[in-house]
Amino acid sequence: MRFREALLACCCLFAGTVAAAADPVRATTPRFEPAPCAFLDVAADWASQQRIDCGWLHVRESRGKADNRTLKLWIAIARADVPESDDAPLLYLNGGPGYATVDYFFPYFPQSKTWPALRKTRDLVFLDQRGTGRSQPAFCPELKRTLETVNAQALAPREAMQRTIAAYADCRPRMLAEGFDFAAYSSSATVEDAEDLRRALGVRQWNLYGISYGTLVGLVYLRRHPGSVRAAILDSPYPPNSPHGAEQITSTALAFQALQRSCDREAACHARFPDMLGRLQVARKRLDAAPLVQDDGGRINGGRLLSSIWTMLVQSSLVRWVPLAIEHAANGDEAMIRRIVALYGGTDSFGDYSFGLAQTINCFEIGVGDTTPAVRAAMQRYPELAGTDAIAEANARECAAWQSERAPPAFFTPVHSDVPSLLYGGEFDPATPYDDAVLASRHLRNSTLVQVRGASHAGMGQDDCTRGIAHAFLRNPAAKPDLACLSTRDVAPIATDGLRAHLDSLKQ
């Protein structure tokens, strides 16, 4: 069983372009082509009012091959309020893999406490990575419809696995016939896309900000092009040598254990929630025995509840409400269960999601090799997080049907770098545990590690303290960051009441 990750932009920014070569394909790629912005759910003149420019980056699908097609990657750039000539643009590397970037971020951009401060003196650059969002061509979009249907039906694990494998097996040959090169969709390819963008825009160096899976791309960037990076913020790091790629049941269990320890330190919380995982197992068993039927015909079983709870657990703004959500579910509160699944049980909780691109990268460089033994061991160790009829070999069989190629062994070695780096790890993170941040920092010789108490994923944006550390770091990456505020910052207690009112407030 695997869980989703989780978390959270040109007329030209600069006038530089790439000189044309004799080869007609090389003459057109890489290059940046300005285009009108058209964001979802915002007014037509919003982009110009917010000083945002958009365009297409044209790149070759398969670098190093003589004849291959061109991809178009969607780019958006938020212009600096008061640009400073020595302040490098910040390139945002989104998580996933598989999530769109541009359309997810910009409807919320004006209300953000993080992005407006980051753009005061530097431009912010966002891209839909190849195979995601508006970037073209789309990466088997029909998979999304099929697999969302499988998810909504809450099928028995073996039937769900078989239907998933059939969907992958149906789509792959059609994509190959259309000319897709599966090996060209990887973290290393995204790094080279970003390098092409840097050159096409005339940027000397980036500041990198990667989150979750985006930190893996950022680390590969540091390995392949260290001279192109002024400084790197790695928020919820996932290094290529992480032991958590084979399965995430264990990292989810560790997050629940950390949440339980935090709860046990508060008398009221411990009295109310003495055994979160035990109560979660009660709720799961009840729903597996008698799934709830939704108005649209979908069904909610224990697996869908767990997936929804995980989506709450991975969000720092919601993690304090997780014990209450579990308690409502264990008590058989069907209205609350339906509400939680409706809010957090879909695949688009963090933006539009490309199943095909995500699974291509997961199989190529994350869940590598035969993951079955690791999954089976985790299922036995943490039965509360794995149904008794779960299929340990599901991921390995899905990869065999979709992407059987594997990244070379050198990809999975630690990334060594002298580039100034700031790493954030959350206390309750089920996707990229804090020990991943520790692991990455050991090989980054000029790095600072920030552990964010009371946070889950994406700890940098937690509060003024954590954001302030990042702002000071970007102003002067060579200076040792001042972390004094971490010991005095307020951490909201785990909620023991009020979940329904909180969910109501989210509508406002």
Model pLDDT for residues 144-202, shown as the tens digit of each residue = 999 989 988 888 889 999 999 999 999 999 999 999 999 999 999 999 999 999 999 99
**In terms of DSSP H, where are the helices of 370-488?**
372-381, 394-402, 434-441, 464-475
As a whole number of angstroms, the distance between CA 76 and CA 126 comes to: 5
Query: How confident is the model at residue 64, as a pLDDT?
Result: 81
Partner residues linked to 421 by β-bridges = 232, 447
- Which contacts (CB < 8 Å, 24+ apart) does range 387-390 have? 387/1, 387/157, 387/284, 387/288, 387/302, 387/303, 389/156, 389/157, 389/158, 390/1, 390/157
Pairwise CA distance, residues 269 & 466, whole Å: 26
Q: pLDDT per residue over 52-86, tens digit each?
A: 999 999 999 999 887 789 999 999 999 999 988 77
Distances (CA, A) of 450 to 171, 301, 415: 43, 38, 19
Say which residue the tokens 């409706």 belong to: 342
pLDDT at residue number 507: 65
235-258 confidence digits (pLDDT tens): 999 999 998 888 999 999 999 999
CA distance 58 to 282: 52
Listed by start position, the domains of the chain span 1-140+173-255+354-479
Report helix, strand and coil shares of the chain as percent, to nearest 5. Answer: 45, 15, 40
The C-alpha atoms of residue 305 and residue 380 are separated, in whole angstroms, by 20
The rounded distance, in Å, linking the Cα atoms of 108 and 342 is 21
Q: What is the pLDDT along the chain (508 residues), one digit of tens a residue?
A: 333 333 332 333 333 323 333 344 444 569 999 999 988 878 888 888 889 999 999 999 999 887 789 999 999 999 999 988 778 999 999 999 999 999 988 878 878 889 889 999 999 999 999 999 999 999 999 999 999 899 888 888 899 999 999 999 999 999 999 999 999 999 999 999 999 999 999 999 999 999 999 999 999 999 999 999 999 999 999 999 998 888 999 999 999 999 999 999 999 999 999 999 999 999 999 999 999 998 887 899 999 999 999 999 999 999 999 999 999 999 999 999 999 999 998 877 788 999 999 999 999 998 777 889 999 999 999 998 987 678 999 999 999 999 999 999 999 999 999 999 999 999 999 999 999 999 999 999 999 999 999 999 999 999 999 999 999 999 999 999 999 999 999 999 999 999 999 999 886 5
Q: Residue 493: what residue type?
A: P
Report the distance separating Cα 373 and Cα 394, nearest Å. 11
CATH of domain 1-140+173-255+354-479: 3.40.50.1820
The predicted pLDDT at position 28 comes to 58
pTM of the model: 0.92
CB 84 within 8 A of CB 52: no
Mean pLDDT of the chain: 90
